[in-house]
Amino acid sequence: MGPIYEHERRFLLDHAQARRIVRRAEEHLCEDVHDSHRPFAHVRTTYLDTDDMLLFRSRPAWRVRIREYAAATTPHALPVLRGTSFLELKQSEGSVRWKVRAPVGWQVMRRWLAPGYLDLWSCMASLPELARISLPEKRLFPSLTTWYWRRSFSQAGASVRVTLDERVSFSEPVHPGMPGEISEPTGVVACLAWSVLEVKCFGQVPRWLDESLRGLAEAVGFSKFKAGILAISQGMAPVVTP
């Protein structure tokens, strides 16, 4: 699969705002459920960067990350990893996002990270999805892991996808996990006080969604990666306001 281009808008919401958006999404879209036995989805993402934090400072913003998915039987049950990980490369400029990703088994990912860093360019021979990526040829070190509960809504043939990330937490980076392993990392450094709403569009925003977003302040420039790195470097929970 080639790179995906999309427009993405982010909002930081309190509990009441998040519930209102979810109710509207449920009226017009279908909730994405990948495991009917464990319908409550969680996402664990480990970000990589150079030793001099080149990607953290990049403009346009480049991100290299390892994404893992987990699921739980109830909202309060411990989520377990599904065992599939993805190596993702993402570039953002304004509201435009460009992303490409490749599935990588957790054993392979652990082996690639065994030296303590990832040599992305030596891996590309086995990852045709990432071919022709233009990044500085530097070693990439795990720098941060984020973890959150995600609800996502979409519809076949629709041009919009709505995701709501709640209980966002930041920790020191963790290794990719095996299937059935508890996904929530230990050593959490900070938690985000807000839910993160992301609206991804490949065309015009539907009228019902445009009306739902009216009056909400867009979180321009916000990213979980930035918020987490600042939290770890400061040794305290980030104070983020919409």
pLDDT single digits (tens) 185-202 = 888 889 999 999 999 887
Q: List 170's β-bridge partners, or say none.
A: 146, 190
Query: Which pLDDT score is estimated for 79?
Result: 94
The residues of the chain scoring below 70 in pLDDT are 1-6, 125, 128-136, 156-158, 235-242
CA-based radius of gyration for the chain = 18
Query: Which pLDDT score is estimated for 136?
Result: 65
Delineate the domains of the chain, giving CATH numbers in brackets: 4-234 (3.20.100.30)
**Phi and psi, residue 235, nearest 5°:** 70, 30
* Distance of alpha carbon 64 from the chain centroid: 11
